[in-house]
């Protein structure tokens, strides 16, 4: 059953128990510091803020008990402030270790076996001043002559020999969004805590500039440090006496969030750590080396804010450039994908890494995207979702992964449209992205384009700017954010001439579809009538409220009916509501139209397309024109964005999707999905529909849509653990009375492990088709348990072309006494021998409902076949036994024909299908036999099929000679032509080496 955003009481109980366990662990690890209960001090929000979390960002500040850290929450303090015999620096290190080692919620999808040490890969860092080339250019394929001398951040403080004696060093680390600045700082702090780096500093004090700029209360440097780190209030390193501050390193992460002003008139000079100043003035004086000049400082910032600190106050510049080569990218993927189960290497993960590395070495578009560690994380999360989803893992959706990815990178960020102090004039950065980049993405999806020219970017992202403030915003947006989403098109730029216009694509193809879906669901794609109506409605609605209150007073004094006309003003807001409802209905219709677009039919399913975009396509690839590109993820993302969990994350990004909007879209979409689900869809399109329902995470909607579905045909779809999980989860939403006529999973590459994941889906069908898969004898144990279920509904079970062997059949036969539903059992080409046939003959009497038995194309001889037919004759309901393509002699076939004829005049006949002939006559079932052989001849053992067809020809020739009737001989010629046609097809396929698609 699906799990949703609401917390159950059981979940609360589990968290409470786990809290106690974590508390005990902490007390065992730090017994000196856990002697007293007190109010928990705030975590170092100076290090990071609550929204930017993840593997390349700071950890989310949640308590060890699962709830948010807050000043009012009552919890266990890890360290005793009254322990006088405890070194404050050691307490500081222990606290930083706990805080920075915490894995956020997004990391749990990787199994929770990782730590910042094991999953850290050092990005490329170049000691480079901004004027030495364009600092904003982030090419994925740099000429890496300087890579060999790339320093680490701690080496930037070691290698300095030119600083003025007695003064600390200011280092400015700058880079684009997603290059790994916060990850580097996080790892640096952890290494200092463990003693492996920055050993020259006895105290490291990290701050978040976003937190500092929100602090409105002036305070001194010591109070500022003491507020974030209470145990450092009295440390002598910050007293300003002597040169103790030379062993202190301040870290200010995200300096672009602060408005630093180095003019004397704006930020007064101060050298006293105890003097009260604004937080900006404290930082400015530290960088000026007027306050604690001996202390060293590390500042990280985005590209647009490099010039905010005057060059004379920066001792060393360093640019963080991400992963500039496939080897660094492979190291990152290896650290995240290789260990899937408690330190044991996973073979599937190893093969994934190899395919991924091959794609990266081709200088593919993925390599350009993974130049940013952020996209390495997104790629890893997607591959983990595609290949390592199981019933024990937390519920994850593809839409949820992309929503979390954007929250990790842009959560809480705003773009000011006026004074920074005015909260009303601030717009969410993510909403700005949707209205610009999302609009470009939507235009591309509408016109079926995945690449864009510079003029397209200017049209959709440049917009019609009017004020200097808007121009400044656009310049910052282009420098910091635009390159995060759009990168040069690698394949296109290889073949264009120098005079051709450069093309840009989204770093990850699915990001275009996600942003366009978000653009539509947020209602940004409004018609001109809707825009005008909303403005008029807002104005008239406000006016009507004021006039109504005045007219209510006047109407008591002058009761004229003329005042009733003012009530017409209230019609305008209602008119907008009706137009808004129609707009939401249009969104639902768009989703349905894109979902069932006819030109996208018969493509590979969406999940396979996503996998190929990451792992590449092995072998020759068909060229796809830009105007025929299909965007099949687009409607699925629109459905996923309506889920409550994703809407909650988007609300943190400033993108609010109202519940009324969701209800209106869902109401119309349900009608469309029910209408389309009644039609017979191709297998891949049906898989996409199931994925859409899964992304919705709405059991009620899923149940109502599936009511009209009677056949789920996923034949030839390459099933993976994720697809099995999706199918089982969707069918699990249906009521117990829901039953499918057929669940067709033939030729789906199902293994015994996948079979166990599909167990919930098997309880909803009459006909279960599992032929042409990779099942073995152990799989029959699970199928036996299915047949022994008290409410088993399976009437037909197809297990053809699975290597079950005699042992597997023995397991299945154990279900005969307890099963009441099975009517048809197909064991064709499953490796059965005489032993299994004899045992089957002995135990058929234990089941009274079986009607048809197919054991064709096995290794059954004459005696075992005769015994099986005799048992079927004695069975009350069996009427047909398939025995063709077995090791039968001519005598045996004749005996089987005789056994099938009833001994009494009105006795029951059992058809024993052993050949296309029955004695000197044509078998009435010759066509089904040749049809089965024709469909599967190229996938079966060809030499054996050829021998059997030659035997058929010999039997037909003999039978034709025995008949004098012209019509019978004509019938023999017809069947003989069909056999020869099948034989020619077999020989032609053997010569060309082609394989058919089995159905």
Quick one: 960 and 837 in the same domain? no
pLDDT score of 724: 94
For residues 507 and 450, give the distance between their C-alpha atoms in angstroms, rounded to a whole number.
11
Q: 366: how many CB neighbours lie within 10 A of its CB?
A: 26
- Alpha helical stretches, state H, 1-132: 9-29, 88-101
Report pLDDT for 867: 92
Mark whether 157 and 306 lie in a shared domain: yes
Residue 290's alpha-carbon distances to 143, 392, 547, 755, in angstroms, are 40, 57, 61, 70
At residue 535, the pLDDT reads 43
Separation CA 170–CA 294 (nearest Å):
10
Same domain? For 152 and 298 the reply is: yes
Element (H, E) at 713: strand 711-713
Q: Residue 945's pLDDT is what?
A: 74
Cα separation, 14 vs 594, in Å, equals 42
Q: Which helix (H) or strand (E) holds 471?
A: helix 468-477
Would residue 611 count as lying in a domain? no
Residues 224 and 99 both lie in one domain: yes
CA angle, residues 414, 415, 418, in degrees to nearest 5: 125
State whether residue 868 is helix, strand or coil. Answer: helix
Domain boundary among 888, 914, 940: 914
Tell me how crowded residue 343 is: count the other CB atoms within 10 A of its CB: 7
Q: Is 342 left (phi over 0), alpha (psi -120 to 50) or beta?
A: left
Same domain, 944 and 965: yes
Closest to 279 measured CA to CA, from 204, 245, 238, 228? 228
Phi-psi region of 322 (alpha: psi -120 to 50; beta: other; left: phi over 0): left
Q: How many residues does the chain have?
A: 999
Rounded Cα distance, 378 and 366, in Å: 11
CA distance 927 to 923: 9
Residues 6+ apart with CB under 8 A from 944: 885
Centre a 10 Å sphere on the Cβ of residue 656 and count the other Cβ atoms it contains.
12
In a domain, 599, yes or no: no
The token duo for 493 is 């730029």
One domain, residues 223 and 274:
yes
| Spatial separation of the C-alpha atoms in residues 321 and 102, rounded to whole Å | 26
Phi/psi at 250 (nearest 5 deg)?
A: -95, 140
For residue 848, give the CATH number of its domain: 3.80.10.10
| Residue ranges of the chain with per-residue pLDDT less than 50 | 1-84, 135-146, 161-162, 341, 418-424, 497-499, 527-545, 547, 566, 568-569, 571-572, 575-576, 579, 624-627, 905, 994-999
Question: 855, 881, 914 — which closes off a domain?
Answer: 914
**Nearest of 371, 389, 390, 379 to residue 355 by alpha carbon:** 379
Distance from C-alpha of 403 to C-alpha of 398, rounded to nearest angstrom: 9
Whether 444 is in a domain gets the answer no
- Whether the Cβ atoms of residue 672 and residue 589 lie closer than 8 Å to each other: yes
Angstrom CA distances, 159 to 127, 164, 529, 850, stand at 11, 14, 64, 83
Nearest to 166 by CA among 243, 249, 238: 243
Please state, as a whole number, how many other Cβ atoms lie within 10 Å of the Cβ of residue 628: 9
Give 879-921 pLDDT, tens digit per residue: 888 888 788 887 887 787 777 665 554 556 788 887 776 656 6
* Same-domain check for residues 302 and 241: yes
What SS3 class is residue 588?
Answer: helix
Q: Which of 735, 791, 746 lies closest to 770 in space, CA to CA?
A: 746
Q: Which residues contact 91 (CB under 8 A, 6 or more apart)?
A: 33, 79, 231
Q: How distant is the alpha carbon of residue 214 from its chain centre? A: 34
Burial class for 165, CB neighbours closer than 10 Å (0-12, 13-18, 19+): exposed
CA–CA separation, 586 and 324 (whole Å): 44
CA 606 to chain centre: 12
CB atoms within 10 A of CB 863: 13
Q: Is the dihedral of CA 102, 106, 112, 117 positive or negative?
A: negative
291 and 200 within one domain: yes
Total domains in the fold of the chain:
4
Residues 6+ apart with CB under 8 A from 886: 855, 856, 857, 858, 859, 860, 861, 865, 914
* CA distance to 664, 765, 823, 842, 970, per residue, from 848 (Å): 53, 21, 9, 13, 42
Residue 268's CATH number: 3.40.50.300
For residues 251 and 225, the answer to whether their CB atoms sit within 8 Å is: no
Of 378, 396, 414, the last residue of a domain is 396
CA distance 794 to 823: 8
Specify whether 99 is located in the same domain as 198: yes
In a domain, 280, yes or no: yes
pLDDT at 282: 92
Q: Give the domain range for residue 940.
A: 930-989
Q: Is residue 62 part of a domain?
A: no
Tokens read off for 29: 């690890």
Cα–Cα distance, 768 to 787 (Å, whole number): 11
Q: Are strands 880-882 and 852-854 parallel, antiparallel or unpaired?
A: parallel
Q: Are residues 101 and 157 in the same domain?
A: yes
Verify that 237 and 262 share a domain, yes or no: yes
Asked whether residue 449 is domain-assigned, the answer is no
For 212-248, the three-class secondary structure string (H helix, E strand, C coil) is HHCCCCCECHHHHHHHHCHHHCCCHHHCCCCCHHHHE
Q: Is residue 517 part of a domain?
A: no
683 within a domain of the structure (yes/no): no
- Say if residue 221 is in the same domain as residue 311: yes
Write the pLDDT tens digit of every residue in 257-311: 888 888 887 778 888 999 999 999 999 999 999 999 999 999 999 988 898 899 9
Please tell me the predicted confidence (pLDDT) of residue 144: 43
If one counts every other C-beta atom within 10 angstroms of the C-beta of residue 291, the result is 24
């Amino acid at each position: 059953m699906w799990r949703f955003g609401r917390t159950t009481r059981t979940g609360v109980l589990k968290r409470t128990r786990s809290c106690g366990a974590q508390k005990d662990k902490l007390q065992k690890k730090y017994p000196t510091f856990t002697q007293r209960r007190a109010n928990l001090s705030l975590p170092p929000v100076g290090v990071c803020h609550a929204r930017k979390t993840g593997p390349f960002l700071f950890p989310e500040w949640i308590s060890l008990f699962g709830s948010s850290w807050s000043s009012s929450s009552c919890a266990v303090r890890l360290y005793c402030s009254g322990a006088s015999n405890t070194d404050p620096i050691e307490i500081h290190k222990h606290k930083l270790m706990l805080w920075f080692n915490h894995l956020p919620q997004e990391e749990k999808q990787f199994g929770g076996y990782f730590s910042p040490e094991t999953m850290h890969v050092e990005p490329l860092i170049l000691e480079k001043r901004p004027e030495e080339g364009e600092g904003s250019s982030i090419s994925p394929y740099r000429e890496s002559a300087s890579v060999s001398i790339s320093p680490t951040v701690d080496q930037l403080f070691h290698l300095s020999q030119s600083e003025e004696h007695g003064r600390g060093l200011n280092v400015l680390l700058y880079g684009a969004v997603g290059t790994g600045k916060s990850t580097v700082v996080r790892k640096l702090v952890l290494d200092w805590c463990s003693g492996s780096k920055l050993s020259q500093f006895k105290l490291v004090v990290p701050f978040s500039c976003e937190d500092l700029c929100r602090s409105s209360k002036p305070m001194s440097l010591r109070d500022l440090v003491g507020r974030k780190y209470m145990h450092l209030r009295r440390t002598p390193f910050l007293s300003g006496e002597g040169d103790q501050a030379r062993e202190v390193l301040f870290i200010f992460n995200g300096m672009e969030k602060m408005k630093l002003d180095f003019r004397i008139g704006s930020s007064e000079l101060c050298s006293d750590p105890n003097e009260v100043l604004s937080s900006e003035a404290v930082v400015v004086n530290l960088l000026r080396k007027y306050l604690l000049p001996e202390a060293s400082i590390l500042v990280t910032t985005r590209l647009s804010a490099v010039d905010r600190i005057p060059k004379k106050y920066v001792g060393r510049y360093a640019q963080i450039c991400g992963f500039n080569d496939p080897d660094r990218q492979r190291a990152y993927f290896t650290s995240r994908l290789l260990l899937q189960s408690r330190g044991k290497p996973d073979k599937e993960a190893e093969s994934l890494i190899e395919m991924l590395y091959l794609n990266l070495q081709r200088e593919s578009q993925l390599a350009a995207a993974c130049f940013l560690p952020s996209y390495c994380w997104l790629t890893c999360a997607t591959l983990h979702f595609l290949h390592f989803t199981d019933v024990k893992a937390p519920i994850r959706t593809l839409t949820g992964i992309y929503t979390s990815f954007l929250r990790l990178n842009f959560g809480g960020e705003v773009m000011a449209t006026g004074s920074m102090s005015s909260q009303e004039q601030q717009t969410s950065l993510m909403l700005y992205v949707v209205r610009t980049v999302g609009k470009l993405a939507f235009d591309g999806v509408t016109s079926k384009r995945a690449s864009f020219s510079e003029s397209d970017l200017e049209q959709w992202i440049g917009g019609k700017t009017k004020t200097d403030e808007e121009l400044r915003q656009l310049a910052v947006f282009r420098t910091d954010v635009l390159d995060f989403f759009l990168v040069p098109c690698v394949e296109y730029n290889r073949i264009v001439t120098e005079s051709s216009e450069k093309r840009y694509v989204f770093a990850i193809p699915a990001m275009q579809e996600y942003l366009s879906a978000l653009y539509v669901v947020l209602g940004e794609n409004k018609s001109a009538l809707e825009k005008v109506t909303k403005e008029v409605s807002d104005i008239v609605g406000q006016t009507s409220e004021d006039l109504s209150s005045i007219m209510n007073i006047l109407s008591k004094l002058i009761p004229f009916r003329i005042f009733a006309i003012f009530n017409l003003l209230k019609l305008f807001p209602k008119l907008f509501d009706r137009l808004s409802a129609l707009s939401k209905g249009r969104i639902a219709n768009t989703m349905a139209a894109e979902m069932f677009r006819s030109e996208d039919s018969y493509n590979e399913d969406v999940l396979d397309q996503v996998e190929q975009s990451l792992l590449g396509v092995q072998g020759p690839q068909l060229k796809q024109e830009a105007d025929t590109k299909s965007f099949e993820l687009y409607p699925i993302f629109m459905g996923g964005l309506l889920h409550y969990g994703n809407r909650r994350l988007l609300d943190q990004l400033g993108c609010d999707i109202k519940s009324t909007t969701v209800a209106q879209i869902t109401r119309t979409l349900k009608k469309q999905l029910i209408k389309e689900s009644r039609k017979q869809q191709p297998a891949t399109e049906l898989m996409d529909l199931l994925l859409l329902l899964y992304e919705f995470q709405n059991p009620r909607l899923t149940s109502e849509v599936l009511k009209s579905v009677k056949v789920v045909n996923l034949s030839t779809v390459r099933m993976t653990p994720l697809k099995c999980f999706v199918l089982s989860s969707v069918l699990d939403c249906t009521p117990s009375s829901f039953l499918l006529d057929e669940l067709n999973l033939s030729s789906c590459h199902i293994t015994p492990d996948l079979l166990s994941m599909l167990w919930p889906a098997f309880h909803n069908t009459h006909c279960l088709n599992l032929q042409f898969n990779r099942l073995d004898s152990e799989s029959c144990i699970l199928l036996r348990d299915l047949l022994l279920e008290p409410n088993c509904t399976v009437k037909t079970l197809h297990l053809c072309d699975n290597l079950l062997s005699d042992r597997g059949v023995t397991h299945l036969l154990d279900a005969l006494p307890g099963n009441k539903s099975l009517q048809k059992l197909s064991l064709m080409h499953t490796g059965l021998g005489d032993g299994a046939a004899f045992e089957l003959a002995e135990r058929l009497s234990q089941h009274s409902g079986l009607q048809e038995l197919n054991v064709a194309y096995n290794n059954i001889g004459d005696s075992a076949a005769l015994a099986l037919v005799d048992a079927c004759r004695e069975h009350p309901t069996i009427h047909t036994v398939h025995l063709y393509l077995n090791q039968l002699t001519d005598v045996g076939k004749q005996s089987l024909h005789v056994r099938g004829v009833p001994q009494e005049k009105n006795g029951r006949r059992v058809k024993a299908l052993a050949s296309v002939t029955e004695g000197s006559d044509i078998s009435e079932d010759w066509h089904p036999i040749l049809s089965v052989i024709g469909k599967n001849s190229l996938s079966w053992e060809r030499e054996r099929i050829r021998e059997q067809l030659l035997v058929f020809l010999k039997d037909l020739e003999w039978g034709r000679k025995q008949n004098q009737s012209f019509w019978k001989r004509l019938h023999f010629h017809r069947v003989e032509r069909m056999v020869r046609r099948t034989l020619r097809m077999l020989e032609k396929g053997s010569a060309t080496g082609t394989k058919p698609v089995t159905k």
